[in-house]
Structure 1
Amino acid sequence: MIKEIASLILLSAVLFGGCQSDSLVSIQQEQVVSPTMQVTKKPKQETNSKLKLIGPSEDGQVKLYANKETEDAIERVTLDINGRTKDFDWSISHYSGTEPQLFYTDLTGDGKEEAVIIIQTGRGTGLNNYEIHVVNSDNLTEIKVQRYEDIVTEHIESRISKNDDGTLAITVNSKGQVDNFNYDFDPAPDYNQDELAFGGVVIYTMDNHKIKLSLPGSIGISPTYVCDFNITYTFDKDDNEFIVDQIEVEPVEK
Structure 2
Amino acid sequence: MKLIGSSKDEQVKLYAVKETEDAIERVTLDINGRTKDFYWSISHHSGTEPQLFYTDLTGDGKEEAVIIIQTGRGAGLDNYEIHVVNSDNLSKIKVQRYEDIVAEHIDSRVSKNDNGTLAITVNSQMQVDNFNYDFDPAPDYHQDELSFGGVVIYTLDNHKIKLSLPGSIGISPTYVCDFNITYNFDKADNEFIVEQIKFKPIK
- Structures share a fold, TM > 0.5? yes
In structure 2, the partner of 1:187 is 137
In structure 1, the partner of 2:75 is 125
Equivalent-residue separation in structure 2 for 1:152 and 1:190 (angstroms): 25
Equivalent-residue separation in structure 2 for 1:190 and 1:164 (angstroms): 15
Equivalent residue for 2:163, pick from 206, 209, 213? 213
TM-score (norm. length: structure 2): 0.99
TM-score (norm. length: structure 1): 0.79
In structure 1, the partner of 2:127 is 177
Measured after TM superposition, the shift of residue 167 of structure 1 is 1.1
User: Structure 1 runs of 4+ off > 2 angstroms?
Assistant: none
Q: Which runs of 5+ in 2 are unaligned?
A: none
Structure 1 residue 199 and structure 2 residue 149: aligned? Answer: yes
Equivalent-residue separation in structure 1 for 2:114 and 2:22 (angstroms): 50
Measured after TM superposition, the shift of residue 164 of structure 1 is 2.0
Q: Report SS of the residue matched to 1:165.
A: coil
More helix by proportion, 1 or 2?
Answer: 1
Equivalent-residue separation in structure 1 for 2:132 and 2:47 (angstroms): 35
In structure 2, the partner of 1:240 is 190
Q: Which runs of 5+ in 1 are unaligned?
A: 1-50
Q: How does 1:1-254 map to 2 (within 5 A)?
A: 51-253=1-203
Q: Which has the larger radius of gyration?
A: 1
More strand by proportion, 1 or 2?
Answer: 2
Deviations 1:92-138 (A, max 9, x none): 00001100000000000000000000000011101110000000000
- Higher relative CO (Cα under 8 Å, sequence separation at least 6) belongs to 2
In structure 2, the partner of 1:33 is none
Q: How many residue pairs are counted as aligned between the two chains?
A: 203
Measured after TM superposition, the shift of residue 234 of structure 1 is 0.3
